[in-house]
A = this chain, B = another copy of it.
Amino acid sequence: MSSLVEVARAAGVAVSTASRVLSGSDHPISAKTRAKVLAAAEELDYSPSALARAMVSPHSRLVGVLVSDIDNPYFSVIARGVDDAASRAGYVTMLSNVDRRTGTEIDRLQAMRDYRAAGVVFAGSGYVDDPRTPDLVDAVRRAREQGVQAVSLAVRDLGCPSVVVDNRAVAHDITDHLVSLGHRRIAFIEGPTGMTVTRHRREGFLARMREAGLADSAQCQPGGFDYESGHAATLRLLARPPLPDAVIGANDEVAVGALSALRQAGVDVPGEVSVAGMDDLRLAEFVGLTTVSLPLYEMGSLAARHIIDSPPVPRPRVTTSADAGRSSGAGPTRRGGRRADPPGDGRADAPADVSADVPATTTVLGHRLTVRETTARRTGERA
């Protein structure tokens, strides 16, 4: 190791000079001095402390991403998008798995806040009527007041910007495709109970079925987001004939679970029954699944770029000399001290929330149908 002072000493210059050279400042430096500093840094294996750097700036060059489970391809693609954008900008990505627990989300957000992250990306969907949502919203608000940005990748109303897809439309479109293939009796295997995305996708499915006058032949099965859920739900379908013309999984993995269950039961897919999913993860390609492609990678990178490109709220530094030190009452107290409650709104001169008052923007990214005929084909009886 070795610090700036050691490098400066070895180079025979002042720390400020060494700093200017090594931090790529645009301050003019003589070529000779620059060379000396560079040489000394090399010699001493100087490694700038990002910690110390972050202490004198509004925030660190760390971006966090909160996923339900990184070992779920839906989230790993997002994480990849975040990290690519972060790395490109010289940032480092922090990752935390929260297992869909709001409490854990709050904890991990706090941990990242402790590191003065530039921002945190919330990758997962929330639950409808989650009792802890207010706590999370509060945690997000406080983080933002401190200069830690937040971006949600799901429709969640966290009081922060969001980059999302229209999950109703996603489900609507895949349903539309199956209907256009001539399928009438369509079963929908839902996602995890209570999740917002589950609700949206079901609504999209039902909406399209209604529009097609097929409300009566629409069938929703409780499910989940994993293979086992899809498999189990399909077994239930198999146990109560007649079979539907098509099965839609709440996501690709569920669809694959359905596919397996059907084929294991000797059902011809796509001959007798069509199967389709949503998300278009790699898995979908492997099994030739008709699905809907989501811009997950882009959502991640876009969120990260939003965080990185946001001009940091410059935290006012204390004005040097004079009354700096011990003016116990007047000086620094101004920050959080006089919190003159404005009527109604709880955050009058709350520090550093320049953007907290503008309505959180929502960016909706597009999706597209991806047809792979291995699992979904035109129905025989109705061309």
Residues B80 and A116 in contact, CB atoms below 8 Å apart: no
Chain A 365-382 near chain B by CB (<8 Å), digits 1 or 0: 000000000000000000
Please classify the interface of chain A as helix (H, G, I), strand (E, B), loop, or mixed, using the class held by over half of its residues: helix
Interface residues of A in 32-61 (CB under 8 A from B): 44-45, 47-52, 54-55, 60
- State the copy count for this chain: 2
Residues B47 and A286 in contact, CB atoms below 8 Å apart: no
Give chain B residues whose Cβ lies under 8 Å from the Cβ of A352: 1
Interface residues of A in 180-214 (CB under 8 A from B): none
Chain A 122-160 near chain B by CB (<8 Å), digits 1 or 0: 000000000000000000001001110000000000000
Please count how many residues in chain A sit with their CB below 8 Å of the partner chain's CB atoms. Answer: 66
CB contact between A50 and one of B77, B79, B92, B114 (< 8 Å): that residue: B114
Q: A: which residues have CB within 8 A of B?
A: 1-2, 5-6, 9, 44-45, 47-52, 54-55, 60, 62, 69-73, 76-77, 79-80, 83-84, 87, 90, 92-97, 108, 110-116, 142, 145-147, 227, 253, 256-257, 260, 282-283, 285-288, 328, 332-333, 335-336, 351-352
Give chain B residues whose Cβ lies under 8 Å from the Cβ of A47: 110, 113-114, 142, 146
Give chain B residues whose Cβ lies under 8 Å from the Cβ of A111: 50, 90, 92
Residues B142 and A45 in contact, CB atoms below 8 Å apart: yes
Cα A322 to Cα B364 in complex, Å, equals: 63
Cα A300 to Cα B79 in complex, Å, equals: 18
Residues A94 and B97 in contact, CB atoms below 8 Å apart: no
Residues A71 and B76 in contact, CB atoms below 8 Å apart: yes
Cα A328 to Cα B87 in complex, Å, equals: 37
Residues A256 and B286 in contact, CB atoms below 8 Å apart: yes
User: Nearest residue in B to A99 (C-beta to C-beta)?
Assistant: B84
Q: List 28 A-B contacts (CB under 8 A).
A: A2-B336, A6-B333, A6-B336, A44-B336, A45-B142, A45-B145, A47-B110, A48-B114, A50-B115, A51-B51, A51-B115, A60-B115, A70-B79, A70-B83, A71-B79, A73-B76, A76-B76, A80-B97, A84-B97, A87-B96, A87-B108, A92-B94, A92-B96, A93-B94, A94-B94, A227-B285, A283-B286, A287-B287
Cα A285 to Cα B45 in complex, Å, equals: 48
Cα A303 to Cα B156 in complex, Å, equals: 35
Residues A70 and B76 in contact, CB atoms below 8 Å apart: yes
